[in-house]
Amino acid sequence: MKTLSCPVDSIEYYNHDTRRIFLKIPEGESVDFKAGQYLQMILPTNKKCPFSIASAPSLEGMVEIHIRPTPGSEDSKIIETLLDEAKVIDLELPLGDCFLEKAPAGPLLMLAASTGITQMKSIIESILPGGLEHPVHLYWGVLADKDLYLSDLCKSWEEKDKNFHFVPVVSEPETSPDWQGKTGLVGNIALDDLGDVSDTTVFVSGSPGMVYATLDLYVENGLPEKNMFSDIFSYAPRAK
């Protein structure tokens, strides 16, 4: 793991609140990370805040992250100000043991909540160029349809490989009167659609509550616990 001061290359809004940030790896340095790992942004207060790396390792000289502010969070306010003003951002990277270097030898299910899509983006952009021999299902759960800021990109992956399938899910449809797609909790919807998950590898990205509820549901429905992977298992272990 390295600590680097990374110049800001670009920052732009995807939608009403989520920003895409490209940070340059300083000259003479390199970063060796695996798709699915995360970095920590070091705030002026010295607090370290984790963000999944959204780019694939094949992108050289740069890392991409997506940041959505958390209402009511002091750290989030500091991060937003940093994004508005900073020319250089200090990072610690790479971290995390939830990564994928090549597609598994069986079906893969990716369950992403909100900005959890970033971790899946890095993984998908790494495994798609080699071709998919088994089905890969990406289910992306958001509160409202306006939060689906990467929908076009996810749909473009379907066009690249017939084994890739993308399903967006809105959990608060009352906020999205024009939404015609699936509604409910992302993990439950994927389980209803797929049925048998006993030989599936499952990656989950989201809050601890979402990840542990998904783990319990899937294990009850026949998924071997060892087949589920999430940063949360090491970042926020479940209280005994």
Ligand X SMILES: Cc1cc2nc3c(=O)[nH]c(=O)nc-3n(C[C@H](O)[C@H](O)[C@H](O)COP(=O)(O)OP(=O)(O)OC[C@H]3O[C@@H](n4cnc5c(N)ncnc54)[C@H](O)[C@@H]3O)c2cc1C
Q: Among 58, 73, 81, 156, which residue sits at the site for ligand X (rule: CB under 6 A)?
A: 73
In the block, residue with structure tokens 């939404």: 179
Chain residues 160-219 in contact with ligand X, contact rule CB under 6 A: 205-208
Alpha carbon distances (Å) from 187 to 59, 77, 111, 141: 30, 30, 7, 8
User: CB neighbours of 128 closer than 8 A, spacing ≥ 6?
Assistant: 157, 160, 161, 164
CB nearer to ligand X: give 118 or 200: 118
Question: Near ligand X by CB under 6 A, which window of 112-120, 121-129, 151-159, 168-176?
Answer: 112-120
Distance CA 123, CA 100 (A): 6
Query: Taking CB under 6 A as the rule, does residue 122 contact ligand X?
Result: no
Encoding tokens for residue 13?
């809004």
The residue type found at 96 is G
Longest CA span, the chain: 51
Q: Give the residue among 121, 135, 117, 129 at the shortest CA–CA distance from 201.
A: 135
Q: Among 20, 34, 59, 76, which residue sits at the site for ligand X (rule: CB under 6 A)?
A: 76
Q: Among 22, 55, 66, 122, which residue sits at the site for ligand X (rule: CB under 6 A)?
A: 66
**Residues paired with 167 in a beta bridge:** 139
CB nearer to ligand X: give 15 or 198: 15
How many residues in the shown chain lie near ligand X by CB under 6 A? 24
H-helix or E-strand containing 24? strand 19-24
Query: Taking CB under 6 A as the rule, does residue 70 contact ligand X?
Result: yes
Distance CA 153, CA 120 (A): 12
Question: CB 105 → ligand X: shortest distance, Å?
Answer: 26
Q: Give the residue among 87, 96, 110 at the shortest CA–CA distance from 168.
A: 110
Question: Near ligand X by CB under 6 A, which window of 1-9, 62-70, 153-161, 194-202?
Answer: 62-70
CB nearer to ligand X: give 79 or 100: 79
Q: Among 11, 193, 224, 235, which residue sits at the site for ligand X (rule: CB under 6 A)?
A: 235
DSSP H helical ranges for 15-150: 74-85, 117-127
**Residues paired with 203 in a beta bridge:** 110, 229
Q: Among 8, 59, 62, 75, which residue sits at the site for ligand X (rule: CB under 6 A)?
A: 75
CB nearer to ligand X: give 24 or 48: 48
Query: Taking CB under 6 A as the rule, does residue 99 contact ligand X?
Result: no
Per-residue interface string for the shown chain with ligand X, residues 6-45, x marking contact by CB under 6 A: --------------------------------x-------
Helix (H, G, I), strand (E, B) or coil at 184: coil
Question: CB 155 → ligand X: shortest distance, Å?
Answer: 21
- Residue numbers at the binding site for ligand X (CB under 6 A): 38, 49-52, 65-68, 70, 73, 75-76, 79, 115-116, 118, 205-208, 231, 235-236
